[in-house]
Amino acid sequence: ENFLAALEHGLSLAVIPAGTLNHFAKDLGIPLELPEAVRVACEGAVRAVDAAEVNGRLFINNSSIGVYPRIVELRNRYGGRGPAKWLAALWATLAVLRRRPFLGVRISTGDEVAVRRTPFVFVGNNEYRMVGLNAASRDSLSGGLLAVYVMRGSHRTGVLGLAWRVLWRGVDGVDELELLQVAEAEIETHRGRLQVSLDGEVVLLESPLTYRIRPGALRVLAP
């Protein structure tokens, strides 16, 4: 990973948006057109932004457990590129929700402990905007806090309905979705090992999962 090498060696990272969604580049205000992105890489200012980690594994956007890693795994196994990838994602989502998608978790954040039965826990490197056309973007990458989103759900059909309600109302308008903003969180499950997504990559990690924010750990060239 380029960002890992930059962080370990104290180098400034130049971001060239060549992926599918380019969340990190968009949140930094880096142009998506290649010539403009290269110009920022050559002439941009150095900004210190946060990184995050789980059990020592770094990520710059988000991590999650529950239904999402399984959806990503199925999508990558059966999907292709372009429209085929999105059709595979839809099929994978429906396939996962047909099974029992719920997971028992114990989330410890300092003196607070929450026990939930949930289809997913989503951990963002800083808080994500969850409403409107700019959903899944971040206002800041230097707030110094993890954003831990937990769905309280009991019906598999409620997962899809929740997604629509969050887009229309935001997190504050949806009772089933909790947001915890913390510097560190430990998540335990009854499983000894579980699938965890890290910026879209699925890895197998030991429980408990220890998430930490690393404020200002990464230097990036940005406008």
pLDDT score for 212: 97
Amino acid sitting at position 154: S
Burial state string for 189-216 with b = 16 or more CB within 10 A and e = fewer than 16: beeeebbbbbbbebeebebbbbbbbbee
pLDDT score for 23: 87
Distance separating alpha carbons of residues 167 and 176, to the nearest angstrom: 14
Amino acid sitting at position 205: L
Distance separating alpha carbons of residues 12 and 10, to the nearest angstrom: 7
pLDDT score for 117: 86
Q: How many CB atoms lie within 10 A of CB 21?
A: 11
pLDDT score for 170: 53
Could you read off the pLDDT tens digit of each residue along the chain, which spans 223 residues?
A: 577 788 877 888 999 887 767 889 999 999 999 999 999 999 999 999 999 999 999 999 999 898 777 766 666 665 555 555 545 445 445 555 556 567 889 999 988 899 998 888 899 999 987 665 556 789 999 999 999 998 876 555 555 555 555 555 555 555 667 889 999 999 999 888 998 999 988 899 999 999 999 999 999 999 9
pLDDT score for 86: 47
